[in-house]
Amino acid sequence: MTDRSIVIRGVQPHSAHDPKENLRTVLPMIARAEADGVDLLVLPETAASRTDDPTQRCVAESLDDGFAHAIARTTHGMNLTVVFGMIERVQGSERRRNTLVAMRDGEMTAFYHKLHLYDAHTSRESKGILPGDAAPEPFTVAGVRIGLQNCYDLRFPETSRVLADRGAEVLVVPTSWVRGANKEDHWNLLLRARAVENTCFVLGVGQTGGNRIGLSAAIGPDGVCRAGLGHEIGEFTCTFDLGLLEQTRAAMPLLRQRRFAIDPVPRQAPTIFE
């Protein structure tokens, strides 16, 4: 049995609209996480700039300046990997990308453009955001394979299954989950379902305050919650023991027993609203 493990810290903020204000909060967190021996620090979707106002847009930046550049500079010389969400400018387009970025030692080690846009209830994310066009690829932190997905992706089980197919052992889900009827129940249910059906660890890290639910949580491959938060602003740290993942996969070999493959090529994003 493996003796591999990974120390992960999730951050549940109420991010501001101004990226510079968010950096004043985040940069000391990075320094503390490195000092504490954390392997992976996870910030939520739109950690760089967030708004609850449907008439206002988040601040969009490139991967080479602003919030992302400051994170890269701060992590230079560190073993710590930092995952965060931002709104990325797209040259030649009025629409932007909802992007997740992983930084380590001053370099971008992974990025992911959100595939499934939140065109549901009264929201229309696709009005201002371009959908991603490629399934995410896992990346490695402390010898552990990490898969990224973003908020609404959690409702589409194929995203998690493609990551598990590609070797992901931990699914990391930064989010800005909006309050609504049964939305908290759905969040808790989906985190556990994605963990159990893929026999993966799942870390869901969200925004809180305003119209966001918080409720960040770390779920084991057995579906048991290992750590988490309520609605408060805060951080939590957990150690994922990959021996538990191996035990679970040996007892419940779901990934080997399934009869259907998942096509990893996304189809064209449908137009839901005219």
Of 161, 153, 160, the residue nearest 131 (C-alpha): 153
Q: Angle at CA 83, nearest 5°, toward 191 and 79?
A: 120
Separation between Cα atoms, residue 210 and residue 198, nearest integer Å: 32
Name which of 248, 245, 241, 247 is nearest 8 in CA terms.
241
Catalytic position from the list 58, 151, 200, 238: 151
Catalytic residue of the set 45, 88, 169, 235: 45
151 is annotated as an active-site residue: yes
- Separation CA 47–CA 26 (nearest Å): 9
Which residues, in sequence order, are CB contacts of 153 under 8 Å at separation 6+? 114, 115, 116, 159, 173
114 in catalytic set: yes
DSSP-derived letter for residue 59 is P
Distance separating alpha carbons of residues 211 and 153, to the nearest angstrom: 19
| Residue 81, phi then psi, degrees to nearest 5 | -105, 135
Catalytic-labelled residue, pool 58, 61, 114, 200: 114
The yes-or-no answer on residue 45 being catalytic is yes
CA distance 76 to 69: 11
Q: Where are the beta strands (DSSP E) in the chain?
A: 5-12, 40-42, 60-61, 81-88, 96-104, 107-113, 129-130, 139-141, 144-148, 170-175, 201-206, 208-209, 212-213, 217-219, 225-228, 234-241
Give burial (CB, 10 Å; 0-12/13-18/19+) of 57. middle
**Which residues are annotated as catalytic?**
45, 114, 151
